[in-house]
Every structure is written in C-alpha cells, then in structure tokens.
Amino acid sequence: MSPRQSNEDAAKRGGGRESSPSGRPRSRRRKGSDKRSDKGALRVPAENIDPALLHRDAKRAVQRLQAHGHEAYFVGGCVRDLLIGRAPKDFDVATSARPSEIRRLFRNCRIIGRRFKLAHIFYGDHIIETATFRAAPGEQPTDDDDLLIVDDNEYGTAQSDARRRDFTVNALFLDPSSHEILDHVGGLADLERRSLRTIGDPSVRLAEDPVRILRAVKFATRLDLEIDDPTWDAMCDVAPDLDKAAAPRVLEEIFRLARSGVSTAAFQMLRDVGALDVLVPVLEEYLGPEDDIPERAEPFWDLVAALDAHVRAGDHGAPSSGLIVALLYALPYELELERLAADGELPDSRARLAATWEMLEDMAERTRLPKKDFTRARKVLVAQQNFIAPPERFSEVLFARSEEFVDAFLLFQLRSQARGVGLDIVEAWRDRAARARAAGRDELDEERKKTRKRRRRRRRTRGGRQDR
Ligand code: ATP
Ligand code: MG
C-alpha cells in the first residue's frame, strides 16, 4: 500500500463515523466477548505460534515462577505480535508472584519503580520485565492485607490484570508450558478480525489516560488494525484532553509515531480524531481544516512520506527528536519567512532564529520538549538556508562539522526528495560534507580563526566593550 493510499484509508476511517444522537459513541456489543470474560478466560491452543519463537530466557523465567507455585505468562505486545506473525520487540512476563517473591527466585533480578514495583530479570544484556498482576481500575483490593502494599500498589488476579490493560489485543496471556493463549477480554476474536478496541467502555478508558489515543493510532497504523467504531468515537471525544495528559508521555508517543515508518497514516489519523489540533496547532492551522489548501497539504504529506521512506530504508538509524520537530514545522516556518520577506528585507539568520522561537515556543513549553531538542530543531530550521543561499561569509567546513549538520542535511534531503527538486544540491553537499569530515585540525583552526576575527570586528563598540 502506498503512503497516499494508507493516508486515504486512514481518512476514511475518520470520516463518516456516526455517533449516537447525544454525541456520545454508541455502545455496540461484540458477540460474546464481554460475557465470556465475566466467566473467566478462554483457553485456546496457540497453534499458529512456533514454540521456537518464544524467547528462551523469558520462557525460563516463566517456568521457574510456575515451578514455585506461581501463575506466570507472557503478556501484552509479545503475545499479540506472535499471533499476527511479527517479531516481538520484547517479552514481558506477568505473574501472581509478588516482587519480593520474584527477587527470591532470581539472583539476576532488580526491583524497579516507585508507585508500582516491577522486577527486571537480567540475562546478559537482555532484560525480562516481570510484573505482578495488578488490579483493574475501580476494582477494590481484596481483604487480603498482602494485596495492598503501598500507594497504588494494588495487586490483583490474571483476570484483573488483563482488564486494566488498554486494548483487547494487548491483554492476551500466553502460557509457554501448555502453549495456550488465555483470553479474558475477547482479544483473540478482535485480532482475528483485525480490530482495535479498548477493554471496557472506551469513553471511560480513554478519559482515564488520553495517551491511549496515541497508542491506538500507533497500533492501528503499525499493525494495520481497524479501530472499532465506539473506540474511534471516544478518541474523537477525548482528544482535547490530550492537553492535560502527562507531557513527556505524549511527546514520546509522537516521536514513536514519527519514527514508525508509517507516520503518514498516523499523522493523518491524528488529524482525523482532532489530536493534531491539540498537539501541533501551528501545523493544523497551516494545513487548513480539511487539507483544503492543496498547495500546502500536498507538500506536507509528501515530506512526511519522504520521512517514512527514509525510516523504512532503515540504514541510517532513527531520526532524532530535533529533526522530527523541525520537519513538522518546516513548511509553516517557510511560509513565515515568505511573510517576513514580503514585509521588507530578506530576514537574516538572527531574524530567522527569532522566527523559530515564536513558532516553536508554545509547543515546546506545552510538551516540555527537552531544551536540547528545542535548540536542535530551531538550528535545523534556520540552517536550511545554508544549503541553497549561504550567507556572504560562511564556512562550509564548519557548518558541515557542526552539531546540527546531520539533521539539517537530512531535512534538506527529505524536502528535496518530497519536491523532486534540488537533488543535485543534495549530492554536492554530500561531497562537501565528506571533504569537511576529512579536514585536519589546521584547516578547522584556520576556518575558526576567520570567523572569530569577523565576529570580534563586528561586535566591537566605540567604547571598546563587547556587545552581548
Ligand atoms: P510495543 O510492541 O510497542 O512495545 P506493547 O503492546 O508491548 O507494544 P508497551 O508500551 O510495551 O506496548 O506496553 C506493554 C503492555 O502494557 C501493553 O501491551 C498493554 O497491555 C500495557 N499498557 C501499556 N501502556 C498502557 C496504558 N497506557 N494503559 C493500559 N495498559 C497499558
Ligand atoms: Mg512492549
């Protein structure tokens, strides 16, 4: 599927969805799923999972817990990924054993976390995250004293642990000993029909943690799942609350989406649920409500598609956070420069840097973007000019050796690929960068000396003081 196509599919998902007359999502019961979970787990042989794909150390950890009388399973993303034939990123374990009990069983174990304690079991440089079953939200801890340890440390059963998770497809357990799937929430059926659905009432579950909206977008686009209608409607309703969600988690999910290789579909979906408006309002405003300014929308989606192609090519490492921010703002920023130029002179680098501040500050503050990423994004934007119209006295070598060069060059390259112009400039700069990398210390000193002299001359005031 081309990025454009998936784009349209995503838009279709967003468009034409009905909600109930009250504007609230309709609650549509899926056949049997909720009923079954009330009675306990469905146990099904994990026939289509090759036992050889189960992580050896994770399996060892589970079986050691089981041998000591505890319940233990693989859980979450690894079970989901194995069932749909993808290689899991990591193998998480859920168990009835308390952290202290886990620690007693594994010498290679460290307990982490303040609110809810997790055990990290180390095998070489690999970590198996092992969590004690937790209570579902709103469920009372039982009267067993041991269940309530400290603060939010509410332990629960396998069933409550499944129910407190976000989406049904993320709540499946796999018992590696019997090679069975345990399904408390109808996740198997949802996986089969490739449907993404929250566990329980979507309005409640998304309001509990609006970051789940971004997680829904991530799983739907990455795993090619269709978001269930009531879940989708609740995503649209709750999107404004993203503003109140924990900023670092929101930011991390945005970066994950941007690095997914399917970010065109993901960002399109964020627009459709109204989340982009909350997260990057400058971009939403630039694009217009329905991509109705084609001369803006098309270059933007082409740029994001170029990023996806770059990520999928996979031989360059993940794009940096600074680059991602710069890319999201690149086109509104270019427009702003055009406006400034129309008002008078071409903006110099100082004016261009000031414009990036104006544009990024609000978002950076709201998302608590780390300062180094904020600074990098600004420098990357300002540096775009260097590739096509460098300032009069400019050191190519120092620029090519600067911290921001790699990201600045990548943005220029993606922009050129998206537009299909300037590819010769990209090649020329690739050569220059290679030459600059080979430059010896003498050459660099010489270049620095030149720029230092210039600066000193420019900054000296009549009284001999240095300007700020
Ligand atoms: P990935 O392959 O991206 O790691 P994952 O499903 O493993 O996907 P994680 O973020 O690693 O996702 O989380 C592990 C599991 O923890 C999830 O599968 C889900 O069951 C649960 N989980 C994670 N975040 C939340 C959340 N915000 N609310 C409820 N459950 C969550
Ligand atoms: Mg995971």
At 216-252, the pLDDT tens digits run 999 999 999 999 999 999 999 999 999 989 999 999 9
CA of 198 to the centre of ligand 1 (A): 12
pLDDT at 19 over 50: no
| Mutational test site, ligand 1, from 169, 170, 197, 205, max ligand atoms within 8 Å of CB | 170
Q: What is residue 455's predicted lDDT score, i.e. its pLDDT? A: 57
Q: Are 42 and 188 in contact (CB under 8 A)?
A: yes
DSSP 8-state assignment for residue 226: E
Nearest to 387 by CA among 360, 359, 416: 416
pLDDT at 2 over 80: no
Atom of ligand 1 nearest to the CA of 76: 18
Q: Where in the chain is the domain with CATH 3.30.460.10?
A: 41-183
Indicate the pLDDT class of residue 12, thresholds 50, 70 and 90: very low
CA of 132 to the centre of ligand 1 (A): 15
Indicate the pLDDT class of residue 125, thresholds 50, 70 and 90: confident
| Closest-approaching ligand to the CA atom of 75 | 1
Determine the residue type at 91: F
Contacts of 147 (CB under 8 A, 6+ apart): 135, 141, 154, 155, 156
Q: What is residue 459's predicted lDDT score, i.e. its pLDDT? A: 56
Q: What is residue 454's predicted lDDT score, i.e. its pLDDT? A: 58
Nearest to 189 by CA among 34, 27, 17: 34
Q: What is residue 385's predicted lDDT score, i.e. its pLDDT? A: 92
Q: What is residue 461's predicted lDDT score, i.e. its pLDDT? A: 52
Q: Does 171 sit in the ligand 1 pocket, CB within 6 Å?
A: yes
pTM of the model as a whole:
0.85
Beta bridge mates, 402? none
The owner of tokens 């890319």 is 327
Cβ neighbours, 10 Å, residue 207: 14
Q: What is residue 18's predicted lDDT score, i.e. its pLDDT? A: 35
Q: What is residue 395's predicted lDDT score, i.e. its pLDDT? A: 86
How confident is the model over 88-101, as a mean pLDDT?
95
Q: What are the tokens at 36?
A: 């079954």
Q: What is residue 289's predicted lDDT score, i.e. its pLDDT? A: 75
- Write the residue with the smallest CA distance to atom 26 of ligand 1: 166
What digits encode the pLDDT tens for the residues 138-183? 664 444 444 333 345 689 999 999 999 999 999 999 999 999 999 9
Q: Any alpha helices (H) in 344-400, and if so which ranges? A: 349-367, 371-388, 396-400
pLDDT at 114 over 50: yes
Q: Any alpha helices (H) in 53-209, and if so which ranges? A: 56-67, 77-83, 99-105, 158-163, 187-192, 202-208
| Closest-approaching ligand to the CA atom of 162 | 1
Q: Does 212 sit in the ligand 1 pocket, CB within 6 Å?
A: yes
What digits encode the pLDDT tens for the residues 411-459? 999 999 999 998 999 999 999 999 988 878 887 888 787 777 655 555 5
Q: Are 307 and 328 in contact (CB under 8 A)?
A: no
Q: What are the tokens at 11?
A: 């838009």
DSSP 8-state assignment for residue 167: B
- For the domain bounded by 41-183, which CATH number is listed? 3.30.460.10
Mean pLDDT for all residues in the chain: 85
CA of 165 to the centre of ligand 1 (A): 8
Interaxial angle between packed helices 423-438 and 405-419, expressed in degrees from 0 to 180 and rounded to the nearest 10 = 160
Dihedral sign (CA 289, 291, 296, 299): positive
Q: Are 432 and 396 in contact (CB under 8 A)?
A: yes
Q: Distance between CA 215 and CA 218 in Å, rounded?
A: 5
